[in-house]
Chain A
Amino acid sequence: MSLFSATLAEPQSFSTWEKLLLAILIVTSVALFFSRFGPIVKRILTSKKDSNFKLSPIGRRIWRFFWQVLCQAKVIRERPLPGLAHAFVFWGFCAFALVTLNHFAVGFGRGFLDPAGIFGRFYSYFAAVFAAACAVGIFGLFVRRFFVRPRWLGKKVSYESGVIASLIFLLMVTYLAAFLISETSPAARPLWWIHSLSILAFLPIIPHTKHLHLVLSPATIFLSRGGFSKIPPLVGDEDFGLVAGTDLTRLVSLQAYSCVECGRCTEHCPANNTGKELNPKEIILGVRGYLNEFGPGSGESLIGKYNSMTADFQCTTCGACEYQCPVGIEHLPIIIGLRRGAVNTGAWEDEHGAKLFLALERGSNALGMSASERDRFVQKQQFPIFDGSQEYCLWLGCMGGYDPKGREIVADFARVMNNLGVSYGVLRKEKCTGDPVRRLGNDLLFQQLAEANLETLAQNKVKKIVSICPHCVRTIQEDWKEFGNPPEIEHHSEFLARYADKLPKQNTGGEPSETIAYHDPCYLGRYRDVYEQPRTVASLAGEVVEASRSHQRSFCCGAGGGLVFLGEENGDRVSNTRAKELVATGASTIGTACPFCNSMFRDALATTGDAAPQLMDIAQLIARALPQGNTAKTERA
C-alpha cells in the first residue's frame, strides 16, 4: 500500500459511554488547565500597570509577531539546527490545530474533515508532513537535552521536559500510525484514544511548566516594550525601581512566565562565560519563582531568596541576553530595575560604587578628575568653542575629556573633521552624560546630570552632536528623553562613513594591506544597530577581518553597566577573554569604535607582551593618513 493512497483511519463511531467519558475527560483536563493558568493570568493582570506602555506603532508589533512567532526567525537564526527542529514542532502544532479540533469532533460523531474527501484528504497529508517533521524534531531535541547536555540547559535533568517530549512524540506517532491502518482495523479505536489521552494529559501540564510559553509567548512578543534596553521612567514619589512584588509590572510578570528556559541568554552572557555568578536565565526564573511564592502584591524584597544582589551587579548591560531571547523577554529593564531598587534605596553598599556616585555628586565627571583638566586639554588642542555658529557640537565625554587615550581619539577625530572642512565646536562645560549611573540604577544622580546637561545644550543652542563614545550617544539620544528633548546625535563612525569617499584610502598600491579585526561595541552594535559604517571606515585603512563572534553576537569588552568603575572582577576578566579572541584572528591591528573598549583592550593586551597587535580607534586609522599639521594639535594631550 503506497503512502499516497493511504488515508487517515478515523474510528466510525463511539458508544454513548465513550462519548460521556470523553466529555468528562475533556472537562477535567480543561478545568485542570485553568486551575493553574487562571491564577497565573491573575498574577500577571494584577501586577502594576506599565506606566509607559503604548500599543502603537501597531504595525511594528504585527511585523514582529509575524517574523518572530510565525516565521520563528530568531529561534532559527541564532541556533540553526535546534532552532529548525523547534520551528517544525511549532509549525506542527499550528497545522494540528484543525486536526485536533476534528479529532475530538470525531469522538462525538461530528467529524468535519472527511479523510476521503478532497479537502480533508489534502489536509491530512499536509498535517502528516508536519507530524513527521515534528516527530523528528522533537526526537532530536530530546537527544540533545538528555544525551548531548549543553551547559546552558542547566545541570538538573528535567523530567518534565522528558514527559512533554514523550507526549508530543506520541501524538505525532499515533497520528502517522493512523495512516497505516484501515478504518475498520481494531487498532483504530485504541490509537484514537491514545492520541486523545495524550492531548488531554498535555493540556493541564502546560501551565505547570515552561511550556506555558505555548500560550504566552505570542502575546509576550507582541506586547514587548520594543526598542532595546527600554528602561521605564519612575513614576511618583514612591517608585524606586524593582524593590518588591508591588513593583513588578504586567510586562515583567508576563515575561517571567514566558521563559522557556532555553538558556540562550546565559550562553551568550559575558559575565557567565567568565565564571561570574550572574546567570540571566536565573534572574528571569527568579522573578517567576518570586511571583509563584509571594505574588505581585507582596512587600517582600525581590532581592533575597529568588535573586542575588551580587549577580545583579555583575551585568555589563551588553544586551546579549535580550538580543537572543526567542520569546521576547527583555532582560535589561529587569536587571536595571533590580539595581535601581537596590541603589535608590541605599541598599547597595559597594566601595567603588559609592566612590563613583560621590565623584559625580561633587564633580562633573565619572573619573573624579578636576574640570580644569578638561579645560586645559581643550585649550591645548585649540578646539573651537561651540557658539551656535558651527554645524556640530563635538561632545568629548568623560573618556574624551580626561583619559589620555580617549583624548588621542578625540584629537584625531577633530583632525579628520578639520580636514573635511566640517565646522564644529566644543562646549565650555560638560558633565558626564550619566551613563554609568543610569545603568547602575542611581536615578537621583542620573536626573541631576541629564537635566544639567540638557540645560547647557539648550542655552548653547546645540542642534547636532557628534561623539566618539557609543555610551554617550545612547544615553543622550535615548535616556535623556525622560527629562527633556535632546538634540540629534550620532556616533563618529556614522559621521565618517558618510564622508567615506572624501577620506584617504590607505590600502591601494599592491602591498599587502594591514588586517584589522574590528570589534563591535555593545552600545553601537546591539543597542544602535550600527555595524556596517565602522567597517566601511576601517576598510579605508586596511582589510577588515571578523572575530569569531561579531555583529549582533559581538562579545562585550567588560566595561559597560558601570562595571569599569567597580573595581576588580571575580573569575577571568571579560576583557581578556575578548582580547584573546580578537588576537586569535591573526590581525595586525584591533580596531575599536568606543573609548571604553579601547581602554579595556589596552590593559588586556598589555599582558600579552610585545607581540600584541596594534590597537586603534577607527578615527585614528583615518587620521594617520592625513597630512600632518591639520591645525588641531597632534601632540599628546
Chain B
Amino acid sequence: MKIIVCIKQVPERDAQVRIDGSGKWIEETDLQFAMNESDAYALEEALQLKEKHGGEVIVLSAGPERAGTTIREALAKGADRAIQVESNDPNQLDALGVAQLLATAAKQENPDLVLTGLQSDDLGYGQTGVIMAELMGLPHASLILNVEKTDSGITVKRELEEGWFQDIQLPLPAVLMIQSGGTKLRYATLMGIKKAKTKELRKLGAAELRQPTTQAATLEKITLPQKQKSTQIIPGNAKEAAATLVEKLKFEVRVL
C-alpha cells in the first residue's frame, strides 16, 4: 500500500505562549516544537499497515524550515521518504488553503491511502483531511481509531459520541483522519535516526502547488482568554458544597 501521512510541526503541547507584536500569532522564539499529537498516531497507524501489508509510507508536511526536524523524526520512526512543502506562514492560511497545498502534492503521488491527524494542537481546525478528500475526489472518514485492510478496500473503526463506535467500509483510495489514542505509539530510536539520514526528503515550493487566492476566513487577532486555570475551592458544609458543585458540573463543565 502506498500511504501518505500528513504531519504538522506544532509548538510543544504545554508551552507557555506569548502573543507577538502583530497580535495575530504567538511569539515563536524560545518555543520548542514537536510533532502534532494525532499526527503521531496517524504515522503509527501507517507504519503498522506497512508492516502488515508491505508498501511505502510517505510523510507530507507543509511548514517552514524548522519543520524539517519533525519530518526527520517521522523518517526515524520508519517512514520511507518525505515531501516538505515549504511555506513560511502556514498558520496564516485558512484550512482550505493548507488543504490545497497538501492535496496537490498528494495527488502527484497517487496514494492508496492518505492519513492525517484529527486536528492540530495549535489551530485545531480539524478540517484539513476532510477538505483534502474533497479536493482529491476521494471518500473519507474521520475520528478513526483503527484501520484494517480488506479485499474490497478498508474497514475502519470510527469513534462516535458518548462511548459509541461504528465500523465503516470504504473503497481505496481514501482519506482518513486519525484520532489519538487508538494504538500504542513507538519511540524514536538511535537506529531509526541514523537510517533516516539517508532517506529522501524532497522539497516543494508552496507557489508551485497553489494559486494564491483570497482566504475564506481570516484570523483577525488573538488574545489571552479571560479565565486562567485555577482551583475553585467550593465553600460551605457538605450539603451546600455538593449542591454548588452540581450547579458547576451542569453549567460550567457541562457534563450533567
A contacts B directly in the complex (CB < 8 Å)? yes
Q: State the A residues within 8 Å of B (CB).
A: 234, 237-238, 240, 343-346, 351, 353-354, 357-358, 361-364, 369-372, 375, 442-445
B191 cross-chain contacts in A, Cβ below 8 A: 240, 344-346
Report if B15 contacts A (CB, 8 A): yes
**Could you tell me if B189 and A346 are in contact, using CB atoms closer than 8 angstroms?**
yes
For B229, the closest partner residue in chain A by CB is A372
Contact check, B192 vs A346: say whether CB atoms are below 8 A apart.
yes
Taken residue by residue from 62 to 86, chain B's Cβ proximity to chain A (1 for < 8 Å, 0 otherwise) reads as: 0000000000010000000000000
Check if A343 sits within 8 Å of B185, measured CB to CB: no
Q: Is the CB of A240 within 8 A of B190?
A: yes
Which chain B residues numbered 181 to 207 have a C-beta less than 8 Å away from chain A? 184-194
Sorted nearest first, the 4 A-B pairs with minimum C-beta distance are A370-B14, A357-B187, A344-B190, A444-B190
B188–A357 touching, CB < 8 Å: yes
Shortest C-beta distance, A404 to chain B (Å), equals: 14
How many Å lie between the Cα of A240 and that of B195 in the bound state? Answer: 12
CB-nearest residue of chain B to A351: B184
A452 and B188 alpha carbons, distance in the complex (Å): 17
Q: Hey, which chain B residues are within 8 Å of A375, CB to CB?
A: 16
Residues in B neighbouring A238, C-beta threshold 8 A: 194
A313 CB, min distance to chain B CBs, angstroms: 14
Q: A369 — which chain B residues lie within 8 A by C-beta?
A: 14
State whether B187 touches A354 (Cβ < 8 A): yes
Report A-chain residues with C-beta under 8 Å of the C-beta of B112: none
- Per-residue CB contact flags for chain B residues 2-15 toward chain A (1 = under 8 Å, else 0) read 00000000001111
Interface status of B34 (Cβ within 8 A of chain A): yes
Candidate in A234, A344, A362, A363 with the most chain B CB atoms within 10 angstroms? A362
What's the least CB distance linking A377 to chain B, in Å? 14
Q: Measured between C-beta atoms, what is the minimum distance from B188 to chain A in Å? A: 6
Complex: chain B residue closest to A431, CB-CB? B32
* A358 touches which of B15, B185, B194 (Cβ 8 Å): B185
Contact assessment for A346 and B186 in the assembled complex, using a CB-CB cutoff below 8 Å: yes
Contact A345:B189 (CB < 8 A) given known A351-B184, A354-B184, A362-B34: yes
Nearest neighbor of A371 in chain B, beta-carbon distance: B14
Contact with B188, one of A237, A345, A351, A361 (Cβ below 8 angstroms): A361
How far is it, in angstroms, between the C-alpha of A139 and the C-alpha of B93 when the chains are bound?
86
Which range holds the interface residue count of chain B?
20 to 34
Q: What are 21 sample pairs from A and B whose C-beta atoms fall under 8 A apart? A: A344-B190, A345-B189, A346-B186, A346-B192, A351-B184, A354-B184, A354-B187, A361-B34, A361-B187, A363-B12, A363-B14, A369-B14, A371-B14, A371-B15, A372-B16, A442-B187, A442-B189, A443-B190, A444-B190, A444-B193, A445-B188
Docked CA distance A202–B16 (Å): 72
Contact between A362 and B189, CB atoms less than 8 A apart: no
Q: Which residue of chain B lies nearest to A346 when distances are taken between CB atoms in the complex? A: B189
Residues of A within 8 A of B188 (CB): 357, 361, 444-445
Q: A351-B184, A358-B187 are in contact. List 11 more A-B contacts (CB 8 A).
A: A240-B190, A343-B189, A344-B191, A358-B185, A361-B188, A362-B35, A363-B12, A364-B32, A369-B14, A371-B16, A444-B188
Nearest CB in chain B to that of A452: its residue: B32
CA–CA, A357 and B188, complex, Å: 8
Contact partner, B13, options A237, A343, A354, A362, Cβ 8 Å? A362
A444 touches B189 (CB 8 A): yes
A354 to B73 Cα, complex, angstroms: 15
Instruction: List B contacts of A234 (CB < 8 A).
Output: 190
- Distance in angstroms between the alpha carbons of A351 and B191 in the assembled complex: 20
Residue of A nearest to B13 (CB): A362
| Closest B residue, CB atoms, query A357 | B187
Distance between Cα atoms of A357 and B77 in the complex (Å): 13
Q: State in angstroms the CA–CA spacing of A106 and B114 once bound together.
A: 88
Within 8 A of A (CB), among B170-224: 184-194
Beta-carbon contact of B185 and A372 below 8 Å: no
Nearest CB of chain B from residue A449's CB, rounded to whole Å: 12
Q: Which chain B residues border A442 with CB–CB below 8 Å?
A: 187, 189-190
Partner of A354, one of B12, B185, B192: B185
Contacts of B193 in A (CB 8 A): 444
When chains A and B are docked, how far (Å) is the Cα of A604 from the Cα of B185?
A: 32
Point out the residues of chain A lying under 8 angstroms from B192, CB to CB.
Answer: 346, 444
Residues in B neighbouring A358, C-beta threshold 8 A: 185, 187
Give residues of chain B (31-82) contacting chain A, Cβ–Cβ below 8 Å.
32, 34-35, 73
Q: A443 contacts which chain B residues (CB < 8 A)?
A: 190
Which residues from A are CB-within-8-Å of B190?
234, 240, 344-345, 442-444
Identify the closest chain B residue to A353 (Cβ). Answer: B187
Residues of B within 8 A of A351 (CB): 184
Complex CA–CA separation, A22 to B189 (angstroms)? 61
B34 neighbours in A (Cβ, 8 Å): 361-362
Residue of A nearest to B77 (CB): A346
